């Protein structure tokens, strides 16, 4: 039986930290779905379709394996998507104890709701301080985001 995992997130925009975790997860699971989900708690920078397209480009440019599917989800619970596609695992990147505190309640609820387990993966420490919110702030003030995001994202944000 092939093991399908889902990496969900806002990815607004995708960062080098995300690509790091996506690459690690793709090496562990048979099939990996990178799922762009609207998070109503966050003010969005990019439309969902643009985020999907930038992830696809970044995954390709990074030479990541072909078992990665990038898509989006806007209706219902995250675990409904998992059930629909037969995924039993969610993957989240953990940069610090702050991420553990943020992710743990969601992991427990997703397991309670549908038996979907969450696996936490650690990025390269070089990516431990990279976040989409920081990138959004630097980009909005005209700063150089290229150390934090894939080249396709830097090009897109800086030509905006
Ligand atoms: O990148 P983010 O913004 O931290 O990702 C958060 C996200 C989108 C993964 C989270 O908000 C989420 O899981 N949303 C789906 C809604 C849902 O299923 N909620 C109930 C279980 S937590």
**pLDDT (tens digit per residue) in 53-92:** 999 999 999 999 999 999 999 989 999 999 999 999 999 9
In ligand 1, the atom with minimum distance to the C-alpha of 105 is: 22
42 catalytic, yes or no?
yes
Rounded to the nearest angstrom, the distance between the alpha carbon of 37 and the centre of ligand 1 is 7
Per-residue pLDDT tens digits for 118-145:
999 999 999 999 999 999 999 999 999 9
Name the CATH topology of 4-159: Rossmann fold (3.40.50)
Per-residue pLDDT tens digits for 82-125:
999 999 999 999 999 999 999 999 999 999 999 999 999 999 99
Alpha carbons 100 and 42: distance in angstroms, whole number: 19
In ligand 1, the atom with minimum distance to the C-alpha of 10 is: 1
In ligand 1, the atom with minimum distance to the C-alpha of 12 is: 1
Neighbouring residues of 93: CB distance < 8 A, sequence distance ≥ 6: 17, 18, 20, 21, 99, 120, 121, 122, 123
41, 114 contact by CB (below 8 A): no
Q: Is the pLDDT of residue 1 over 80?
A: no
If pLDDT is split at 50, 70 and 90, which confidence band does 160 have? low
pLDDT at 136: 96
Residue whose CA is closest, atom 1 of ligand 1?
Answer: 9
Mean pLDDT of the chain: 96
Which residue is catalytic, options 95, 131, 146, 155? 95
Output the ligand 1 site: residues, CB below 6 A: 8-10, 37, 39, 42, 77-78, 106, 109-110
Q: Is 18 or 127 the better-scoring residue by pLDDT?
A: 18
132 catalytic, yes or no?
yes
DSSP classification of residue 91: E
Which residue is catalytic, options 10, 18, 33, 92? 18
38 catalytic, yes or no?
no
Residue whose CA is closest, atom 13 of ligand 1?
Answer: 78
């Amino acid at each position: 039986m092939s093991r399908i995992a889902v990496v969900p997130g806002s990815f607004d925009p995708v960062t080098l930290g995300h690509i790091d975790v996506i690459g690690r997860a793709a090496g562990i699971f048979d099939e990996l779905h990178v799922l762009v989900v609207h998070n109503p708690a966050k003010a969005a920078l990019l439309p969902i379709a643009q985020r999907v397209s930038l992830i696809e480009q970044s995954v390709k440019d990074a030479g990541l394996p072909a078992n990665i599917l990038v898509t989006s989800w806007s209706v219902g619970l995250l675990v409904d998507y998992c059930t629909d596609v037969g995924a039993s695992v969610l993957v989240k990147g953990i940069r610090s104890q702050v991420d553990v505190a943020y992710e743990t309640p969601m992991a427990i609820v997703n397991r309670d709701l549908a038996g979907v387990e969450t696996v936490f993966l650690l990025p390269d420490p070089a990516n431990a301080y990279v976040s989409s919110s920081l990138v959004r702030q630097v980009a909005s003030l005209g700063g150089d985001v290229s150390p934090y995001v894939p080249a396709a994202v830097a090009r897109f944000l800086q030509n905006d």
